[in-house]
Structure 1
Amino acid sequence: MTARHDDIPAIALDWIRAGKGAALATVVETWGSAPRPVGSQLAISSEGEIAGSVSGGCVEGAVVVEALEAVDGGGSRILDFGVSDDEAFAVGLACGGRIRVLVEPIRTGDLDPDLLSELVQTRAARRQVAYEVDTESWQRRLRHPPDHSERFRLDRSGFEEGETRFVAIHNPPLRMMVVGGVHIAQPLIRMAELTGFDPLLIDPRESFASQTRFPSVSLGHDWPDEALGAEGLDARCCVVTLTHDPKLDDPAIEAALRSDVFYLGCLGSNRTHAKRLARLAERGFAKADLDRIHAPVGLDIGSRSPAEIAISIMAEIVQSLRQG
C-alpha cells in the first residue's frame, strides 16, 4: 500500500521518465502563521501539472512560476515569501507568516534523476532515508540511520544548526491496520485517510469487510495474523482491533505485540480487557508487552456514537505518534 498524496518524489520521477521536465519545491523554513510544515513538497511538471502543496494554496502560483523558469534553464533557488506584512498579504499569508521554499529542477547538475530514483526506491521499500542539500555548494546526498536519528524519531526536517545544509526527512508513510469491519471502523478509516494514514481493513467476514460498506478502502479477508504478517508491521504502523471476538482480535494483538508498531488499541470494556490480558499472559506475554496495549481504546472524552469513539481513537493514535 502506498498513499499517493505522500508520494510526491515518485510523481515527479514519473514525469521525468515520461519525457517531461519537472521540479520539486520543498518548504525549508517557516515562521509565524505559515500553513504547511517544513518538509512539505510540491511537484511541478514542465506542462504545468502539480501534485502536493507547500502552503494552503497561498503561494503555490508564485512557486509554480519560479519552478517552470528553473525547469526551462534556470538553476536551483530558494524563494522567500512574507518578509513583510505587505508581501505576506500579497501572496496570501494574511496573518503575517513567512516561508522559504527550495526549488530544484530535476536534471543532471541540479537534483540528479538517479539520486531521485534512489530516494523513491528507498521510500517504496519502507526504509528511512534523509535527503541532504547544501544550499551554498548545491551538493546533494542521501543518508540513512543512525545518521539523523533524532530527526527521524521526531519526523522533523530542517536546516542543521548554524549550517547551510538542509535535511529532508523521509520516513515510511504511516499505516493503520483496522481489524473488524464494524460501524466504528467506517468513520475511523475516513479520519485516518484525512490525517495522512494509509489504512487497511482486515476482516475474514466478507459481509463485514465489503466494498459496499467500505468503498475505495483496501480490504484484507485473510485471518488477522496472516493478513498482518503479509503486510509487514513496523514502527510507522498502528493497529486497532474492534471485533470484540477473541478469535479474531487476539491473533492480531499477538502479531502487533511481536512487532514495533507505535500504537496498539483494542476495543472493549475494562472487564473485557482484564480477560484479554489473562489470555495473553497465558500465551507467554510479559507485563511490559501487555502495557503497550491501549484499552479501553481511545482517549476518555465521553464518546458515545461510533463517530465520537472514532475521534477518541484517532486522537489517541496521534498523541502516541507525536508525544511517544
Structure 2
Amino acid sequence: MRIETLRALNAERAARRAAILVTDVGDGEQRLVREPDIAADPLAEALRAHLTSGRSGLVEAGGRQLFLTVQVPPVRLVVIGAVHISQALAPMAAALDLAVTVIDPRTAFATPERFPDVDLVPLWPDAALAGPVPPLDRYCALAALTHDPKIDDPALAAALRAGCFYVGALGSRKTHARRVERLTAAGFSEAEIGRIRAPIGLDIGAATPAEIALSVLAEIVAAGRAGGSA
C-alpha cells in the first residue's frame, strides 16, 4: 500500500468516517473511495452493498477481480438512563461488540455496582456530551430510557443534530406526543422528530426489562444494517 493511501485511510478512521479500499487482485493497484464519493463511483452499487453489510469481499468488474476492504467506524451505543432496561441492555450490546456508554445524573442509579465494566458517566446529558463523552455522529445509536424529559430531551436533541443512525425513546404514544410538542417548540422539524423510534424497540410483545432491552437492541441492529452502520 502506498504511504499516501495509508495516510488517507488512517485519516478517515480517525475522523470516524467510512471508506473502502479497492484493490485490483491482478496488478495490486489500489484506490481509496470515501463514503461521500461512492454515489459517483463506477462501482457504486457494489460499494454501497459492501458498506451496508460492513463486510469486505471480492467483486468482478470489467473482467477484473477487485477486493473491497471495508472500513466502517465501530458503532457506539449511548444509553440515557441507568435503569433496569439499561442493566440488561449493556451486556447484550457488549456481546455484539458495541461500545456502550451509560449517562445518568442520578448517582443513586449510576453506580459501578449496578453497571460493572460499563463506561458510566454520572452527569446530565448536555454536560456529558459536551465533555467526557466523545461527540455523537452518524455511527452512534442513542437510546433514551429515563422517561424523564429533563434528562431525555437534551440527549434526543443532541442525537438528532448529530445525525445518529438510530434514535429511540422509551414511553407510550401519549408520552411521545408530548415529547413531539416539546421538540417542535425547540425548533426541530417534523421530519427530524420523525426519526425518533418511539415507543422504542421492535414490537415483540416485550414485558420484562430484559425483553425490552432485546427489542431495543434488535431495532438498533436492524437500523444499522439498513443504513450501513452496524
Give the TM interval when normalised to the shorter protein.
0.7 to 0.9
Pick from 193, 196, 220: which aligns with 1:293?
196
Q: Is 1:255 aligned to residue 158 of structure 2? A: yes
Corresponding residue for 2:168? 265
Report the 3-state secondary structure (helix = DSSP H, G, I; strand = E; otherwise coil) of the residue aligned with 1:310: helix
Q: Does the C-alpha gap of structure 1 residues 133 and 286 become closer, same or farther in structure 2, counting only changes over 3 Å?
A: same
- Quote the Cα distance in structure 1 between the aligned partners of 2:122 and 2:162: 21
Offset of residue 249 of structure 1: 0.5
Q: Is 1:318 aligned to residue 221 of structure 2? A: yes
Corresponding residue for 2:89? 188
The one-letter code sitting in structure 2 at the alignment partner of 1:292 is: R
Offset of residue 115 of structure 1: 5.5
Q: Deviations over 1:198-217 (max 9, x none)?
A: 11111122232222111111
- Quote the Cα distance in structure 2 between the aligned partners of 1:212 and 1:317: 26
Normalising by structure 2, what TM-score?
0.83
Report the 3-state secondary structure (helix = DSSP H, G, I; strand = E; otherwise coil) of the residue aligned with 1:137: coil
Pick from 18, 24, 34: which aligns with 1:128?
18
Report the 3-state secondary structure (helix = DSSP H, G, I; strand = E; otherwise coil) of the residue aligned with 1:258: helix
Gaps of 5+ in 1: 1-110
Residues 133-142 or 304-313, more deviating: 133-142
Matches within 5 A, 1:156-305: 156-162=55-61, 163-230=64-131, 231-305=134-208
Preserved CA contact (<8 Å) 1:178 1:201: yes
The one-letter code sitting in structure 2 at the alignment partner of 1:165 is: L
When the two structures are aligned, how many residues end up with a matched partner?
214
Preserved CA contact (<8 Å) 1:229 1:255: no
Q: Deviations over 1:25-80 (max 9, x none)?
A: xxxxxxxxxxxxxxxxxxxxxxxxxxxxxxxxxxxxxxxxxxxxxxxxxxxxxxxx
- Quote the Cα distance in structure 1 between the aligned partners of 2:199 and 2:110: 23
Corresponding residue for 2:35? 145
Q: Deviations over 1:121-141 (max 9, x none)?
A: 532331222223222212334
Q: Is 1:155 aligned to residue 54 of structure 2? A: yes
Greater helix proportion = 2
Normalising by structure 1, what TM-score?
0.61
Instruction: Give the RMSD, CA atoms, in angstroms.
Output: 2.2
- Quote the Cα distance in structure 1 between the aligned partners of 2:98 and 2:130: 19
- Indicate the structure whose relative CO is greater, using CA pairs within 8 Å and at least 6 residues apart: 2
- Quote the Cα distance in structure 2 between the aligned partners of 1:256 and 1:147: 25
Q: Deviations over 1:233-252 (max 9, x none)?
A: 21111100011111101111
The structure whose Rg is larger is 1
Q: Does the C-alpha gap of structure 1 residues 144 and 187 become closer, same or farther in structure 2, counting only changes over 3 Å?
A: same
Residues 130-139 or 305-314, more deviating: 130-139
Matches within 5 A, 1:82-97: none
The one-letter code sitting in structure 2 at the alignment partner of 1:262 is: F
